[in-house]
Structure 1
Amino acid sequence: MTIEVWTWPTPNGHKVHIALEELDLPYTVVPVNIGAGEQFRDDFLAITPNHRIPAIVDPDGPGGKPLSLFESGAILVYLAEKAGRLVPADPAARYACLQWLMFQMGGVGPMFGQYGHFHSYAPERIPYAMDRYAKEVQRLHRVLEKRLSGSEYLAGDEYSIADIATFPWIRLPERRGIDLAHYPAVQRWHDAIAARPAVRRGVEVLSERQRRGPMTDQERENMFGATQFKVR
């Protein structure tokens, strides 16, 4: 049965696209245009009360019953366990995988997102915020560099959902003022993952719907303004 993926072409969306492609799980895409405010539609809120992409609906969930799930990290764990791949079987390696997955969820994603907001989308330039998140992005790259200098992948010798979660945030480093030449181990890891056919397919999902050009006032309101704080 086909998994519905409610998504948009963002790093968090790409995580799930890549995982589905790597795991050969059949899926259909339900676009949720976050610039147009579609994340606030009732049908999407019925799946995720947090009105953030991505979310999935698996008609063949545990026990053969439908399952809806939000939060990209939880989705990756679910998909990997459903397919029996991309999470190491060895207990120590499994916890290493989950550790680096949580590192992405709690560190890389939020901090890189704040960098993008204050450097590209905030209505006013706030030097303190811009400097803080630029330094945090650099620090997190140093953490990854140290890990990948001694390990082929984040969880160890095996490619896993920890790598899938992190890669979309590391690609296009120029958007965060990063030159991967300063992080050779991260560069090696990035290039190896970018060359994977499933990854190439995953980052192309909804690429034709990607916003081009400056953000409009309405898009800014839908993504960062008071609309998201409305009581629902």
Structure 2
Amino acid sequence: MAKAALVTGGNRGIGRAIAAGLVAKGCGVTITARGRAEGAEAAAALGCDWAMADLLRPDTLRQFDGARFDILVNNAGILPQGSLLENPQGYFDAMAVMVDGPFRLTLALAPGMAARGFGRIVNLSSGWGAFSEGLGGPNAYGIAKAALNAQTKALARDLPDCVKINAMCPGWVRTRMGGEGARLSVEEGADTALWLAMLPENGPTGGFFRRRKEIPW
């Protein structure tokens, strides 16, 4: 039976490349988007379904409570600007989108994954969220990614072995967020996420990866 996958923020950038890769692997894919036009366009181009959801609005995530998905890719992200003191709202928004949203979706989908004996959760993180790399980035971006990393490691302890959860850094990718000067294509940035989404039974869990290799937190 084909695996069902949910990819947040899958209408553009790395998320869209991940969705395309999962479709190519035979998965039934649903992407989320914040706008109707963007979601419909991307879904039509990718050959998948879509749902309107905004991780800044937790009520829009309730539609996924108890939904049947075997793969969850928490890809959606924002890059708030300015210092934490000058733009404190950036902190709250970053945590809502890149920490609280992924956790809410994990709570919604993981019980069903466990009951069916299969689940793969992939959290799109960043080297900016690694203490080993200096915890960089503007505003609260690095803080949120570090918290997402910690969430990944803690949830791996609590989830059953059949539900694998990992974080990954796509690298510097040519997206609206990464800019045109980035070294990697969206397909290259998506590769590790696709690998983690399709891990075999003996695959890793609770790790942090880049280019399919484990990296320090």
| Max Rg structure | 1
RCO greater where, 1 or 2, for CA within 8 Å and sep 6 or more? 1
Q: Do Structure 1 and Structure 2 share a fold, with TM-score over 0.5?
A: no
With normalisation by structure 2, the TM-score equals 0.31
In terms of fraction of residues, the more strand-rich structure is 2
**TM-score, structure 1 length as denominator?**
0.30
